């Protein structure tokens, strides 16, 4: 059974960057995709992108192209999501989830707060 554990909450300034990590245990890390989904306060879910091993390259939602970078480190079973040029509307809980198109295991979520 796959477990995903994310890094802790972050408070960031406008225009800066944030990196959220997601460490997997259980299962064969190199064989499954990890995606990132965010949720603004009181709002719904928004897919940001993911890393799918069979493609060997991350895929990003059009909305986040140029601002998000997803990397993976098989030596530590960790996937990282970096979001740059932060603005107030990026305040959200960021989740990693296993899967490239539908998501069957989720991390606990990481709250990122963007303020001036």
Partner 1 sequence: EIMMTQSPAILSVSPGERATLSCRASQSISSNLAWYQQKPGQAPRLLIYGASTRATNIPARFSGSGSGTEFTLTISSLQSEDFGVYYCQQYTNWPPRYTFGQGTKLEIK
In the complex, the residues that contact partner 1 under the rule CB under 8 A are 37, 44-47, 50, 59, 61-62, 95, 97, 100-104, 106-109
Task: Compute the least distance from the CB of residue 87 to partner 1, in Å.
Answer: 21
In angstroms, give the least distance from the CB of 69 to partner 1: 16
Closest CA to 6 of 18, 19, 23: 23
Residue number with CB closer to partner 1 (7 or 50): 50
The CB-of-108 to partner 1 minimum distance in angstroms stands at 6
Cα separation, 107 vs 24, whole angstroms: 9
β-pairing verdict for 57-60 and 18-25: unpaired
Give dist(CA 70, CA 80) in Å, integer: 6
Residue 60 vs 84, nearer CB to partner 1: 60
Q: Tell me how far, at minimum, the Cβ of 14 lies from partner 1, in Å.
A: 27
* Structural contact between residues 49 and 38, judged by C-beta atoms closer than 8 angstroms: no
Nearer to partner 1, 54 or 102 (CB): 102
Q: Which residues pair with 58 in a beta bridge?
A: 51
Tokens 């300034």 -> residue: 13
Nearer to partner 1, 15 or 91 (CB): 91
């Amino acid at each position: 059974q796959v477990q995903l554990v994310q890094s802790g909450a972050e408070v960031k300034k406008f225009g800066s960057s944030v990196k959220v990590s997601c460490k997997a245990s259980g299962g064969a890390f190199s064989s499954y995709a990890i995606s990132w989904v965010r949720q603004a306060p009181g709002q719904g879910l928004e897919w940001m992108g993911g890393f799918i091993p069979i493609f060997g390259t991350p895929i990003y939602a059009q909305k986040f192209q140029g601002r998000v970078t997803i990397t993976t480190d098989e030596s530590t079973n960790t996937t990282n999501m970096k979001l740059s040029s932060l603005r107030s509307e990026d305040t959200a809980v960021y989740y990693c989830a296993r899967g490239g198109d539908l998501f069957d295991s989720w991390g606990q979520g990481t709250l990122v707060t963007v303020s001036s």
